[in-house]
């Protein structure tokens, strides 16, 4: 590649900011149809760049989805099919196989072995080797043994909790804060409503006290990182701790929606999304005030859909978190790169969070390891219409009883343990209600064969099902 192609007029390679929402549904963003609130800052990324209308994560669940995004490879290629942990003290719970029997490894040893193996290169490692300053702020959830921690995996700066979620605010009695419990997740002991154990916040590996609304604390860490690295190219990965519960939201946001949203859970949830959108806006404003916005690639995407038991919206799709229906995996997904991506572009071919690493690596002239072929592709030639065809012939999903393959407009949805396999035409039937497997037997067979070939190419998963706590 011509190395001058992707540098700014000042000769500086672009910065990269990857913002990942946690459990934000497709229909939670106004650019994607939410009429209850206006997420004007998230929307602005799509309006000033590209809005993907078929943008997928690699799993309907946090850890595996993040493992795919951060490596650019299907996480199943390194056995990473399921959560690394849930809760503050996962090691205190027993782990069972799918047949109900006790898994062979229990306790701390089980959880210390879960993570992205060191044979894989994370985006931090790739960009640090490429001469970038690298940072991560927010929810890690990719393993907590030393070899899996961000400061040991290419990130110059890290401010994260390792677990699946942490309290936004440690004093639920605070009159300026609204705290709501909305579903069974909130009753799982030690899961969401603590900031202990894996939910504790760590700065470069050291446990710290945070006496601030956590989402806003993370925002300030991001602003500091930008400030400190504004003179050299940087990559920042910002996996936000929202809008996943605990549903704790500043009362000012909640009150603003009192008139428009009568349902209290929906109001609090959308208030949380609004606060999140403001955080995104503050970061975009910082880029602008530092004169960095013209030379920064900004991506916003979610890791998986909202759980159907929660007040989030996966509209117009069916299903949600945990399932491979569109509601679990089809994400709000926007990207801007001023001067390179045409503003207001809407891209309808299927793309994946797998494409983030190859796209930003190519944009920044950062090499990726040829020994680890990426499953994602560089999207820029497609967005600039330099390349014909589609980025992906097929996309695949597999975890814990749910699988799928998308090929063109066709989708094969599977729950293999139950013998369920349904064929949908996503263009005619985006809500996946009309099973065409009997009407289109050849397509059904073809997709089954393609999925089986992919599945057969994978190693066994590296750890078994998580604790029964989240079995519905
Ligand atoms: Ca998630």
Residue 429 lies in a domain: no
**Does any domain span residue 448?**
no
Percent of the chain whose pLDDT exceeds 90:
87
Residue 469 within any structural domain of the chain: no
Q: Is pLDDT above 80 for 467?
A: no
**99 alpha carbon to ligand 1 midpoint, in Å?**
26
Measured from the Cβ of residue 411, the count of other Cβ atoms closer than 10 Å reads 24
Query: Is the alpha carbon torsion for 75, 241, 136, 339 positive or negative?
Result: positive
Residue 148, by phi and psi: left (phi above 0), alpha (psi -120 to 50) or beta? alpha
Residue 230 belongs to some domain of the structure = yes
If you measure from the C-alpha of residue 21 to the centroid of ligand 1, how many angstroms do you get, rounded to a whole number?
A: 8
DSSP 33: T
Please count the structural domains in the chain. Answer: 1
Q: How far is the CA of 131 from the centre of ligand 1 (A)?
A: 30
pLDDT tens digits, residue range 129-154?
Answer: 999 999 999 999 999 999 999 999 99
User: How many angstroms separate the alpha carbon of residue 472 from the centre of ligand 1?
Assistant: 17
Query: Residue 165 is part of which domain span?
Result: 3-390
3-state secondary structure 90-119: HHHCCCECCCCCECCCCHHHHHHCCCCCCC
Instruction: Dig out the tokens for 115 from the structure.
Output: 């993570």
Q: How far is CA 334 from its chain centroid?
A: 13
Q: How far is CA 183 from CA 93, 190, 265, 311, 321, in A?
A: 20, 15, 10, 9, 14
Question: How far apart are the C-alpha atoms of 424 and 444, rounded to whole Å?
Answer: 9
Residue 7 — very low, low, confident or very high, per pLDDT cuts 50/70/90? low
- Measured in Å, residue 22 CA sits from the centre of ligand 1 at 4
Q: Cα(62) to centroid of ligand 1, in Å?
A: 4
Q: Could you tell me which of 17, 18, 21, 470 has the C-alpha nearest to residue 241?
A: 21
What is the whole-number distance in angstroms between the Cα of residue 178 and the centre of ligand 1? 22
Q: 273 C-alpha to center of ligand 1: Å?
A: 14
Q: What is the C-alpha separation between 152 and 72, in angstroms, rounded?
A: 19
Cα of 399 to ligand 1 centre, how many Å? 14
> Is the distance from CB of 467 to CB of 86 less than 8 angstroms?
yes
**Above 60 in pLDDT, residue 169?**
yes
28 alpha carbon to ligand 1 midpoint, in Å? Answer: 14
Q: 247 C-alpha to center of ligand 1: Å?
A: 14
Report how far ligand 1's centroid is from the alpha carbon of 83 (Å): 10
User: Is 217 domain-assigned?
Assistant: yes
Lowest pLDDT segment from 178-192, 241-255, 303-317, 335-349: 178-192
Q: pLDDT digits over 418-449, tens only? A: 999 999 999 999 999 999 999 999 999 999 99
Give per-residue pLDDT as tens, 68-114: 999 999 999 999 999 999 889 999 888 888 788 889 999 999 999 99
Residue 213: inside a domain:
yes
Per-residue DSSP letter, 165: -
Query: Ligand 1 centre from 300 Cα, in Å?
Result: 14
Distance CA 469, CA 472 (A): 8
Q: How far is the CA of 63 from the centre of ligand 1 (A)?
A: 7
Helix (H, G, I), strand (E, B) or coil at 51: strand
- Any domain includes 154: yes
Cα of 95 to ligand 1 centre, how many Å? 21
Q: How many A from CA of 295 to the centre of ligand 1?
A: 29
- Report, as an integer, the average pLDDT of 155-175: 93
Answer whether residue 339 shows pLDDT above 70: yes
pLDDT tops 80 at residue 353: yes
Asked, for residue 454, whether it belongs to a domain, the answer is no
Using the mean position of ligand 1's atoms as its centre, give its distance from the Cα of residue 233 in Å: 29
- In the reported structure, the alpha carbon of residue 290 is separated from the centroid of ligand 1 by a whole-number distance in angstroms of 31
Taking Cα atoms as reference points, which of 160, 141, 139 lies closest to residue 64? 141
CATH number at residue 178: 3.40.720.10
- Nearest CA to 279 out of 46, 41, 33 is that of 41
CA 303 to ligand 1 centroid distance, Å: 5
Enumerate residues 6+ apart whose C-beta is below 8 A from 268: 178, 180, 247, 249, 254, 311
Coil, strand or helix at 14 = coil
Inform me whether the pLDDT recorded for 471 exceeds 60. no
pLDDT tens digits along 184-214? 888 877 777 889 999 999 999 999 999 999 9
């Amino acid at each position: 590649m011509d190395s001058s192609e992707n540098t700014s007029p000042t000769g500086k390679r672009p910065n990269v900011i990857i913002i990942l929402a946690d459990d934000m549904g497709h229909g939670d963003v106004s650019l994607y149809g939410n009429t209850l609130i206006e997420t004007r800052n998230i929307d602005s990324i799509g309006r000033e760049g590209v809005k993907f209308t078929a943008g997928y994560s690699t799993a309907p669940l946090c850890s595996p989805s993040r493992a795919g995004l951060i490596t650019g490879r299907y996480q199943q290629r390194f056995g990473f099919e399921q959560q690394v942990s849930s809760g503050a003290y996962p090691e205190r719970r027993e782990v069972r196989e799918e047949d109900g029997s006790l898994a062979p490894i229990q306790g701390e040893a089980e959880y210390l072995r879960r993570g992205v193996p060191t044979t894989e290169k994370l985006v931090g490692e790739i960009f640090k080797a490429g001469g970038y300053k690298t940072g991560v702020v927010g929810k890690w959830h990719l393993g907590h043994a030393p070899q899996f921690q961000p400061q040991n995996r290419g990130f110059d700066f890290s401010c994260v909790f390792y677990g699946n979620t942490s309290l936004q605010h440690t004093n639920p009695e605070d009159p300026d804060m609204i705290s709501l419990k909305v579903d069974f997740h909130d009753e799982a002991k030690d899961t969401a409503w603590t900031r202990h154990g894996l939910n504790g916040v760590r700065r470069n590996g050291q446990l710290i006290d945070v006496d601030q609304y956590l989402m806003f604390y993370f925002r300030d860490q991001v602003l500091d990182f930008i400030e400190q690295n504004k003179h050299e190219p940087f990559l920042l990965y910002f996996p936000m701790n929202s809008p996943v519960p605990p549903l704790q939201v500043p009362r000012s946001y909640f009150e603003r929606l009192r008139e428009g949203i009568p349902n209290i859970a929906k109001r609090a949830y959308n208030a949380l999304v609004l606060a999140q959108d403001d955080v995104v806006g503050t970061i975009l404003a910082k880029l602008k005030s530092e004169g960095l916005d013209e030379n920064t690639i900004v991506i916003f995407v979610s890791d998986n859909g909202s759980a159907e038991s929660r007040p989030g919206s996966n509209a117009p799709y069916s299903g949600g978190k945990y399932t491979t229906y569109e509601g679990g995996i089809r994400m709000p997904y926007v990207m801007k790169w001023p001067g390179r991506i045409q503003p207001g572009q809407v891209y309808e071919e299927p793309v994946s969070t797998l494409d983030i690493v190859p796209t930003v690596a190519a944009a920044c002239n950062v090499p990726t390891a040829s020994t680890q072929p990426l499953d994602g592709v560089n999207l820029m030639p497609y967005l600039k219409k330099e390349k014909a065809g589609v980025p992906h012939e097929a996309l695949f999903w597999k975890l814990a009883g749910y699988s799928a393959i998308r090929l063109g407009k066709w989708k094969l949805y599977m729950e293999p343990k139950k013998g369920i396999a349904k064929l949908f035409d996503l263009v005619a039937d985006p809500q996946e209600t009309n099973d065409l497997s009997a009407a289109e037997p050849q397509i059904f067979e073809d997709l089954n064969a393609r999925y089986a070939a992919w599945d057969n190419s994978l190693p066994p998963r590296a750890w078994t099902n998580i604790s029964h706590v989240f079995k519905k």
